[in-house]
Amino acid sequence: MTLQGKRVLITGASGDLGRAMAHRFLGLGADLALQYRSNAAGLEPVLDAAKEAGREAFAVAADLADAGGAERLAAAVQERWTELDGLVNNAGGARPQAFDAIAPEEWEQSLRLNLTAPFRLMQLLLPELKARAGAVVNISSVAALTGGAFGPSYAAGKAGLIGLTRSAARDLGPHGVRVNALAPGPVESEMTSSLAGPVLDGIIASTALRRLVGPGEIADAAAFLLAAGTAVTGQTLTVDAGRHFS
């Protein structure tokens, strides 16, 4: 499996999953555009690794939960690259909330981050993806299938992302662009560590393997979907230690 010379944009690159994917893609020979919201320090090891490997990597600050954030990110990437081999829509998140505690503005912000931003980035970067018959990997969540522990706005956004993946795969396939989704969970991350101990213990106990998923395992799956160069499109690959069986 190789990504040699491929240009890949990763959103949410400074988080646990984003960094794992960035290091994995670098190891496979990719050049990287790395979106982050505020944790620039989290990307320093990735940028250092890229320099050491002789690969191109640059960081772009953009808040994808804000209106216009996706547009600013796309413009920054297009300023550097006229062609794109891969887009990984990884930025996302939520905080656990009861159903009746979610304010309308929080609902809208969550959907902008988890669903609208991936849609806009695919739309805005389509010319660059078409130029290289590129691939898109949308990072959904097993919460889209189970309801999850992070509340309805997160589950709804991630479920919508699976629907978007299927629709985009049909529309973009004639252009040679493949679109797939990953449904991770529960992953060793800052997000899962925010859950109350008994809640997390219950989630782990519900998995067939009785463990969390490592970020590196998600990175390997994403690399496969980017590098496959096969007829795989419109699919959702669940990597969740056996929490949900479809």
DSSP-assigned states of every residue in 171-220: HHGGGT-EEEEEEE-SBSSHHHHTS-HHHHHHHHHTSTTSSPBPHHHHHH
Closest to 139 measured CA to CA, from 97, 191, 104, 99 = 191
The secondary structure of the chain in percent helix, strand, coil, rounded to multiples of 5, reads: 50, 15, 35
State the Cα–Cα distance between residues 137 and 87, nearest whole angstrom: 6
Classify residue 7 as left (phi > 0), alpha (psi -120 to 50) or beta: beta
In the residue annotation, 154 being an active-site residue is answered as yes
Distant-in-sequence, close-in-space partners of 74: CB < 8 Å, separation ≥ 6 = 120, 121, 124, 125
Q: Kindly report the CA angle at 156 between 199 and 87, in degrees rounded to 5?
A: 100
Give the active site residue among 36, 81, 150, 154: 154
Let me know: does 118 contact 161? Beta carbons within 8 Å.
yes
What 3-state DSSP class applies to 5?
coil
Active site residues: 154
